[in-house]
Structure 1
């Protein structure tokens, strides 16, 4: 029994020690603040093991470690970093004053951006960007990188050099924008990389050139012995398992040449006519993903000894669209025959929708067209702006940029890219109207991420310079009323001994201003509203808040009489007014004159528009006849 009692006491004592140990878990005070910088995360408790990260305001650089940790001793390890101002000429913005020739800059030319903001460049179609595509505004009122330039791309893309152990189709010359070059490997090799590469509008090829790697002899023999319809793929390196069935080993008056019996996607077979016959059509066909060959097999026609072979135009596969000819299922056109092309939905035809086979065996005008994927123009907010749209569409791979009108803030991505499936990478942003002006803070206070205007719900974080502490909330939120709630705090010198005020007194104010509620003294945090009579208008803020330091942080308003515009009464026909308008602003002055046949103005020679909307003219002027005119009339 005694043993059980001792064991019970020991367990209770151990639990008590654990509870006390948990209660004594060390914690650190608020991390040291930085002048011209801030830390994250913002919270009230920092237990042992907590880590804070420091960051400097734009235009300042961090000196020291960017993070501090709370150690078991209940203090922050390491030395507090500092924010040092970058060398600057006193300005904190960059003006976009230059744009590359044959290119564009975002934001637009003449716009001023703050330090740390990004500036992007883009070339027109047919030009290639030489230099950096983007830069940022840094201290010294300058952009970090020089403005790039746009170099004209002559005639599309140069076809890459031939690949070892393989072939390219076409294998020489130039590609037009949007055209593709296809690669295939020799027998016993497999393709590593993209089988198709496209000529982009900047004159470059879409992917790196592929390469052909040798297949082991065992895998190659397995490929040769494969039967049609078998689903197993002995060459896992190949990206596809599509097989095309050979038409036959021969065509009428000719033969089919194929490296293997099992022809896979991308493989090419060729045709050869017997002696005395000529090919009419394409002499090669390619195995496509559908399991069919294109172009269709040609025909071998007997040569005419008296005349050479007539020119024809070969028709190749037309992707993402439909091609129609006068002869059904034709794989070539005779001279004078016509082919028509139509793209699927979501694709745009690059070239002519109607071509004719010319005498030289070429499709006219401009060769065979092709279809390019595009996205419809992205939707924008009523107060939004979008750059980079051409004729209401955006081609796949192209980027568009978003911006908002003056007085609105962009919320979301400032750019997006049209993807190959016809959708955009990012949703369009929102344009939210600014609601609050920058709050007025104490002389020794600072705001993190300082802006001139803020949108509804946006938060402002406050801090004090070294040697001062916050009195009030460290954060305020922009309210629909146009004010920040709660009121911004004040900064008080650490250790200062003084009484915190409990009220504010409105000082000298225009007697015509009405105050609601009607009193001179307001409690801390209360709101005073100002207004004028119907015949006057208020100049200045219409509200003010009694701050924690016992002051109204606004310039008190005043009432000014509503100034009306003036209209001149009807004058005599011979009287001239300078300047001549239908209405005049208060304070505007006019002068009266007469023609050369008159002696002088009878009445005032000038008048001034008063605030009540009337000219200070007692009687209207008129023109008196001159003596010379009287003599002529006499």
Structure 2
């Protein structure tokens, strides 16, 4: 080897050694979204390793080497979420699925909501989650549910009662006989348990156990014997006038009809004999206006 070539080779090796010593460390490559970077040393010629969190798949290289020029041999990869295909039950059965997130595909931690085509009822969770293994959490079951013929209610009836079995979510409507008041929802529905939801009750009217009296009814002064001698309906109230003998004035006390039960206020005194000289208690000045 000529002296000139020997000198050039020596210079090249020395330059490479100097360059390696100067650029022996690579920059921090992270972070890796939805993943991790594993390393012990970021200096030349070490490797780093990539991994993804559960539910994510590595797209790209799984390692990268720190080169002598201070750069990494490969770009940072990506961690893409796993994809869960819609269950076959959602496409070929009475079970219907709806994505709760926008998009044409369902990925890790996305949810779908289930419904059953009527007359089937859903048993199990109404939602499922896309899990890390690319499968959905437990799917519900659709079962055909029927309810027996609905029972009637006392002092009432059922509109258009059909002589057949009733299926899930079908309803019947109740009504009450005249003077009775419906208490509760007018409709009862067939539930997935095969039972009907709560029925309403027909509440009875109340007779007024007073022959003569001036009372306040629907914000008007009326005579019991003339206007409400047939009584009042459930939950209705009338106000009786009671007398304060010391101040010679009147005050009102309410009484309400409760399913056929009615109690006249104890302070009320019925005037048995009508007299033109005797003032009706309802015509006395109100006590709250007397000072």
TM-score, normalised relative to structure 2: 0.35
More helix by share: 2
Higher RCO by CA contacts (8 Å cutoff, separation 6 or greater): 2
**Scaled by the length of structure 1, what TM-score is found?**
0.18
